[in-house]
């Protein structure tokens, strides 16, 4: 996060601890956007106190915010759900079925309400796709928000200060997949901006994005050691990582390319399931995967594991999550998160008289 901040990025937060994490990374004020849903009043209050941009997920949250916090901030945003007007993708689902965002009519109602309650500056946000590799999809999302900003101006006389097209820029997890071209998207958004915003004489509008996966996805690897090679109804490679460390393949059936270090150019003439040690049959990193002959002690590297890894981890079966290492440009390696210990696992439990009691001290 500090590296991203140094490169000019802000933080998209959805909880109290994420706000704290952004502050720890020295991302302050409007560098943070607070986008949550079913939000407690405490978190609304904290986001406002830290000066973050508050992004309302539901029209009823506006009055709720006033009741809990006292007043609306000068700058506020609403999350738009286009419903049947757009088609989602397999990961995030159909917008009409999503729990997120305001309908088109509610956007105008919300802007009018917020204006009456003292909001002076406005933003529009949406998030309708995840890991989408088609550049045109993201261009059309920006165009949709530009059109909506123009209609807001025509109907309410309100200038939209920024649009946030959300995330969704895809990562090609398979070697043969084309990586998304950011320049192609940029040029498409620029063209749409000129055709809608500039041509209509609107004030300049900032364009924000939330492309965490695109930034981090292909810049992370899960490195594990082979513990067992087993023959059952299938052949299995058992590694010392589990889906507690990285859950995308097990939960979503997502493909991540796997490499046996030192055997990259060996014949891939064996077929394995690569599995962890959870008491859960979905604890698999690869299914029916062609790999070189694999032996105990080999290192199995799962590529494209830089997004939705540790943050989505868990402790099922009391499995402890791994350390995280940062590879720097000069080739040096820095530990940025240590491995979990049993003391971490028991930290919130109280066994009176036990060394694991959080009251022991």
Q: Is 274 exposed, middle or buried (0-12, 13-18, 19+ CB in 10 A)?
A: buried
Whether 169 and 27 share a structural domain: yes
pLDDT at 359 over 70: no
Final residue belonging to a domain, choices 201, 217, 233? 217
pLDDT at 353 over 80: no
Angle at alpha carbon of residue 171, lines to 17 and 275, rounded to 5°: 80
Looking at the structure of the chain, the number of domains it has is: 3
HEC string of 266-302 equals CCCCEEEEEECCCCCCCCEEEEEEEECCCCCCCEEEE
pLDDT at 344 over 80: yes
Q: What is the pLDDT of residues 3-37, one digit of tens each?
A: 999 999 999 999 999 999 999 999 999 999 999 99
Can you give the pLDDT at residue 310?
83
Mean pLDDT of the chain: 93
Rounded Cα–Cα distance for residues 108 and 148 (Å)? 10
* Residue whose structure tokens are 């759900």: 81
Number of Cβ atoms within 10 Å of the Cβ of 261: 10
Q: What is the pLDDT of residues 172-211, one digit of tens each?
A: 999 999 889 999 999 999 999 999 999 999 999 999 999 9
Rounded Cα–Cα distance for residues 199 and 135 (Å)? 23
Which tokens belong to 113? 């309400």
pLDDT at 122 over 80: yes
Sign, Cα dihedral of 114, 144, 9, 89: positive
What confidence category does residue 360 fall into, taking pLDDT thresholds of 50, 70 and 90? very low
Residues 284 and 274 sit within 8 Å (Cβ to Cβ): yes
Whether 241 and 271 share a structural domain: yes
Q: Which residue has the higher pLDDT, 348 or 10?
A: 10
Domain of residue 70, CATH code: 3.20.20.10
- Domain span holding position 344: 328-361
Whether 173 and 241 share a structural domain: no
Final residue belonging to a domain, choices 217, 237, 262? 217
Final residue belonging to a domain, choices 217, 250, 281? 217
Q: Which residue has the higher pLDDT, 94 or 274?
A: 274
Whether 28 and 162 share a structural domain: yes
Whether 42 and 181 share a structural domain: yes
Strands (E), the chain: 11-13, 32-35, 53-56, 75-79, 121-125, 160-164, 206-208, 222-231, 235-239, 258-260, 270-275, 284-291, 299-302, 324-327, 333-337
Give which of 278, 361, 269 is closest to 318, Cα–Cα: 278
Rounded Cα–Cα distance for residues 75 and 49 (Å)? 13
Number of Cβ atoms within 10 Å of the Cβ of 149: 25
Whether 149 and 233 share a structural domain: no
Give which of 321, 320, 271, 317 is closest to 293, Cα–Cα: 271
Residues 130 and 91 sit within 8 Å (Cβ to Cβ): yes
Can you give the pLDDT at residue 361?
46
Can you give the pLDDT at residue 357?
59
With residue 115 as reference, give the H or E element that holds it.
helix 104-116
Whether 293 and 189 share a structural domain: no
Domain of residue 265, CATH code: 2.40.37.10
Residues 173 and 256 sit within 8 Å (Cβ to Cβ): yes
Whether 47 and 148 share a structural domain: yes
């Amino acid at each position: 996060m500090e590296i991203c901040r140094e490169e000019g990025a802000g933080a998209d937060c959805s909880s109290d601890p994420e706000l704290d994490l952004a502050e720890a990374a020295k991302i302050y004020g409007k560098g943070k956007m607070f986008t949550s849903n079913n939000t407690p009043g405490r978190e609304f209050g904290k986001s406002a106190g830290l000066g973050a941009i508050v992004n309302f997920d539901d029209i009823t949250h506006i009055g709720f915010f006033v009741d809990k916090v006292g007043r609306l901030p000068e700058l506020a945003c609403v999350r738009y759900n286009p419903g049947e007007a757009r088609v989602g993708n397999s990961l995030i689902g159909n917008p009409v079925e999503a729990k997120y965002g305001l309908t088109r009519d509610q956007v105008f109602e919300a802007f009018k309400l917020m204006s009456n309650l003292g909001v002076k500056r406005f933003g529009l946000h949406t998030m309708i796709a995840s890991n989408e590799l088609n550049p045109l999809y993201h261009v059309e999302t920006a165009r949709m928000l530009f059109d909506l900003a123009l209609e807001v101006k025509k109907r309410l006389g309100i200038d939209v200060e920024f649009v946030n097209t959300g995330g969704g820029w895809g990562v090609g997890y398979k070697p043969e997949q084309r990586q998304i071209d950011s320049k192609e998207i940029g040029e498409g958004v620029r063209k749409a901006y000129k055709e809608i915003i500039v041509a209509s004489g609107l004030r300049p509008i900032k364009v924000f994005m939330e492309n965490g996966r695109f930034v981090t996805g292909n810049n992370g690897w899960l490195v594990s050691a082979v513990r067992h090679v087993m023959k059952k109804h299938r052949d299995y490679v058992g590694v010392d990582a589990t889906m507690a460390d990285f859950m995308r393949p097990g939960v979503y059936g997502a493909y991540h390319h796997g490499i046996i270090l030192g055997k990259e150019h060996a014949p891939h003439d064996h077929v394995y399931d690569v599995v962890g040690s959870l008491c859960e049959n979905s604890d698999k990193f690869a299914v029916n995967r062609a790999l070189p002959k694999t032996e105990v002690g080999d290192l199995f590297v799962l590529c494209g594991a830089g997004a939705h890894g540790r943050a989505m981890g868990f402790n099922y079966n009391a499995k402890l999550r791994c350390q995280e290492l940062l590879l720097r440009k000069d080739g040096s390696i820095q530990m940025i998160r240590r491995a979990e210990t049993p003391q971490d696992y028991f930290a919130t439990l109280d066994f009176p008289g036990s060394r694991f009691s959080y009251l022991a001290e």
